[in-house]
A and B are shown apart, each in its own frame.
Chain A
Amino acid sequence: MLGQQLVNGFVAGATYALFALGFTLMFGVLRVINLTYGVYFSAGAFLALALVRNVGFGLGLALPAAAIATGGLAVLIDALLLTRLRRAKAPELASLMVTLGATLLLYAVLTAWLGTEIRRFPPGLVGGAVEFGGIRISGAQALIIVTTFVLVAGLLTLLRRTRLGLAIRALAENPEAAQLMGVDAGRTVAFVSFASGALGAAAGVLIGLEYNAIQPYMGEAMMLKGFAVIIIGGLGDIGGALIAGLLLGMAEALTAGYLASTLKDAVGFVLLVLTLWVRPDGLFGRASARRA
């Protein structure tokens, strides 16, 4: 029983981590609090659903396709909303506010267009299961775990080992200097937007699959969990987001199993507040995130 709980929690945690990843990338690199991120989550899920139901794609095609399309959406929204602010060197809170407004707008539009009833992926989309020692890991769950780790590894490799990654990190440290060194800020920023949108979408598809529920506001519910994961892991730290995500997933599963399922959603926030009280930098956060 405990083992199964932990496995379920681990899987949920992996999706939290995946979700938090894109957000961390945006904030850690671009110093932008982009609240429309939750919309990418919902959009990705709906896109994949449409591709599966209406076009007949398998998940193996639908997931990447939805991710790429949503990545494009993210670049567009970033260009519309945030480029102006970035150029005017507006404070962080300005980007938070403008994306807040855009979020409201986009969710309302999504709801108006798609309605509020819960949709599902067709059953048996990812089949198979593995059983051992009384613990069952479904095909979907296995897919989630593998995808998350592959994407995290991929992202870390990109950032640490490639020139693009170097450009991204340089831009994060010191935008002016980076540009003087020849880093094309516009293109690099667009890439980061794309990547984070794609990651959010992927997380949306996978969570929609795991919990078998897709509705327009699902992204909003995830945002709180995302915040908790990012702050606990440390703002801007990718490895931290992964670990914090997994921890949160497992903590929630244990709470639901042994305390009360209604308290599950509160776990994230309690941990968030604890982190802010005790260790505001989070598990691995950079001290620079703390400048008051």
Chain B
Amino acid sequence: MFQDFLFTYQSLIDAVGINGLLALSLYVVLALGQLSLGQAAFMGIGAYSSALLTTRLQLPFPLVLLAAACLPALAALLIGRPTARLSGVYLALATIGFGEVLRIFYVNAEITGGALGLSGIPERAGFLWIYGTLAAASAGLALLCRTRIGRAMEAMRQDELAAGVMGIDLARYKLAALVASAALAGLAGAFDAHSSSFIAPGEFGFDAAVTILSFALLGGTGSPFGPVLGAVILTLLPELLRPLQDFRLVLNGLIIVLVVLFLPRGLLAWRIGRVR
């Protein structure tokens, strides 16, 4: 029974898992009080590089995944180093710009298949890979939140200046968060490529970045589970309510506006790792 269910709804189930992973990647950065809009761009790097490594070089999947995590991480280092010392606004702007430039590259370069994208990618990422990674990442982050590092992140989020005076190395934490988030997003991209067999530049642009933000904001960023919940809800909702499909972008935009104005803590308002 479960097998049948899995089969019919496979692409939806995969999408929920992948979006969960993306939301988690954004959480890492939001937990510090930073805003990165580059998740979609990092995802794109992971998707394209993994697709090319599998189709052109026939590398085994685990190796491909490694690359899909490392390459975006490298890109994150490039953007993150200068912006880590500047105010959060610079990071947000830099990541938006970064995403746009990559999109232009994907559309114009031959190797990425141009505007038509890449197809025929073998299906390697199934339920186990996607949800296994999601579970591991969620658990890892949840554990981290209870430690000294988690407290440092929360401190930075509440009062960056005071956090620095506590001895927290702000630049290093910000950079580490960005790199980790890029790796997670890259993995999500590889899973996306290897489950839907087809990727195109449009999937990794500004709209996608904002959609991911709406997952995180809706679910609440007090714990890693909030953004994942937000991803689940916002991925399933358009499916359950067919007419909403066309208005997906409008819905995402509306959610962001309403949440920031009226429900700043999101749905899951509790904060993980409280020490009593």
Instruction: Report which A residues bind B (CB closer than 8 A).
Output: 33, 81, 84-85, 90-94, 96-98, 100-109, 220, 223-224, 227-228, 231, 235, 262, 265-266, 268-270, 272-273, 276-277, 280, 289-292
The distance from the CB of B154 to the nearest CB of chain A, in whole angstroms, is 15
Q: Is there contact, CB below 8 Å, between A101 and B255? A: yes
- Determine whether B87 belongs to the interface, using a CB cutoff of 8 Å to chain A: yes
Residue of A nearest to B170 (CB): A292
Q: Which of B248-263 contact A (CB under 8 A)?
A: 249-250, 252-258, 260-261
**Is A101 a contact partner of B97 (Cβ separation < 8 A)?**
no
Residues of chain B lying within 8 A (CB to CB) of residue A272: 94, 97
Within the complex, which residue of B86, B160, B249 is in contact with A276, where a contact is CB–CB below 8 Å?
A: B86
Chain A residues near B97 (CB, 8 Å)? 224, 227-228, 268-269, 272-273
Residue interface mask B73-107, A partner, CB < 8 A = 1: 00000110111011111101110111011001100
Chain B residue at minimal CB-CB distance from A231? B93
Knowing A100-B213, A101-B255, A273-B94, the reply to whether A94 touches B83 (Cβ < 8 A) is no
Contact check, A265 vs B104: say whether CB atoms are below 8 A apart: yes
What residue of chain A has the Cβ atom nearest to residue B85's Cβ?
A: A292
B207 adjacent to chain A (CB < 8 Å): yes
- Whole-angstrom distance between the alpha carbons of A96 and B258 in the complex? 14
Contact of A85 among B88, B104, B261 (CB under 8 A): B261
Which residues of A are found within 8 Å of B82, using beta-carbon distances? 273, 276-277, 280
Q: Contact between B170 and A98 (Cβ–Cβ < 8 Å)?
A: no
Indicate if the CB atoms of A101 and B108 lie closer than 8 Å.
Answer: no
- Docked CA distance A103–B79 (Å): 25
Residues of B within 8 A of A106 (CB): 253
B117 surroundings in chain A (CB, below 8 A): none
For B101, the chain A residues whose CB sits under 8 A away are 265-266, 269-270
Return chain A residues, CB-CB under 8 Å to B210: 100-101, 104
On whether the beta carbons of A93 and B253 are closer than 8 Å, the reply is: no
| Contact yes or no, A102 B90, CB < 8 A | no
CB distance from A158 to the nearest CB of B (A): 25
Contacts of B213 in A (CB 8 A): 97, 100
CB neighbours (8 Å) of A276 from chain B are 82-83, 86, 90, 94
Is B214 on the interface with A (CB-CB < 8 A)? yes
Interface bin, chain B: 35 or more
Cβ–Cβ < 8 Å partners of A98 in chain B:
256-257, 260-261
Q: Which of A33, A107, A108 contacts B89 (CB 8 A)?
A: A33
- Residue among B86, B97, B171, B217 with the highest chain A CB neighbour number at 10 A: B97
B206 near A: Cβ within 8 Å? yes
* A33: nearest chain-B partner, CB-CB: B89
CB distance A101 to B253 under 8 Å?
yes
Question: How far apart are A178's CB and chain B's nearest CB, in angstroms?
Answer: 22
A108-B249 in contact (CB<8A): yes
A96 to B217, CA, bound (A): 13
Q: By the criterion CB–CB under 8 Å, are A81 and B261 in contact?
A: yes
Q: Could you list which residues of chain B lie within 8 angstroms of chain A, going by C-beta atoms?
A: 33-35, 37, 78-79, 81-83, 85-90, 92-94, 96-98, 100-101, 104-105, 108, 160, 170-171, 206-207, 210, 213-214, 217, 247, 249-250, 252-258, 260-261, 264
Measured CB to CB, the nearest residue on chain A to B206 is: A220
Residues of the A chain whose Cβ atoms lie less than 8 Å from the Cβ of B81: 277
Asked if A101 contacts B86 (CB within 8 A), the reply is no
Q: CB within 8 A of A266: which of B33, B35, B104, B250?
A: B104
CA distance A142 to B88 in the complex (A): 39
CB < 8 Å: which of B92, B250, B260 contacts A105? B250
What is the CB-to-nearest-CB distance from A66 to chain B, in angstroms, rounded to a whole number?
24
The chain B residue sitting closest to A101, CB to CB, is B256
Q: Of the candidates B79, B92, B98, B247, which one forms a contact with A96 in the assembled complex, judged by CB atoms under 8 Å apart?
A: B92
Complex CA gap A97/B258 in Å reads: 11
Provided the pairs A98-B261, A280-B86 are in contact, do residues A103 and B98 lie with their beta carbons within 8 angstroms? no
**A contact residues around B92 at 8 Å (CB):** 33, 93, 96
Contact (Cβ within 8 A) B260 A109: no
Q: Which residue of B lies closest to A230 (CB)?
A: B93
Give the 7 A-B residue pairs with the shortest CB-CB distance, closest first: A101-B256, A104-B253, A105-B253, A101-B257, A269-B101, A98-B260, A276-B82
- The answer to whether residues A269 and B256 also contact, given A231-B93, A277-B82 and a CB cut-off of 8 A, is no
- Distance in angstroms from A93 CB to nearest chain B CB is 5
Minimum CB–CB distance for A60 against chain B, Å: 35
Contacts of B35 on A, CB cut-off 8 Å?
Answer: 93, 96-97
Question: What's the Cα separation between A174 and B87 when bound, in Å?
Answer: 19
* Complex CA distance for A289 and B217, rounded to whole angstroms: 27
Complex-state Cα separation, A93 to B264, whole angstroms: 12
Q: Which residue on chain B has the smallest CB distance to residue A280?
A: B86
Q: CA separation between A35 and B22, bound complex, in Å?
A: 23
A84-B96 contact, Cβ under 8 Å, with A97-B256, A104-B249, A276-B90: no
B207 CB to nearest A CB, Å: 7
A108 x B256 contact (CB < 8 A): no
Residues from chain B with Cβ under 8 Å of A90 in the complex: 264
B90 near A231 with CB under 8 A, answer: yes
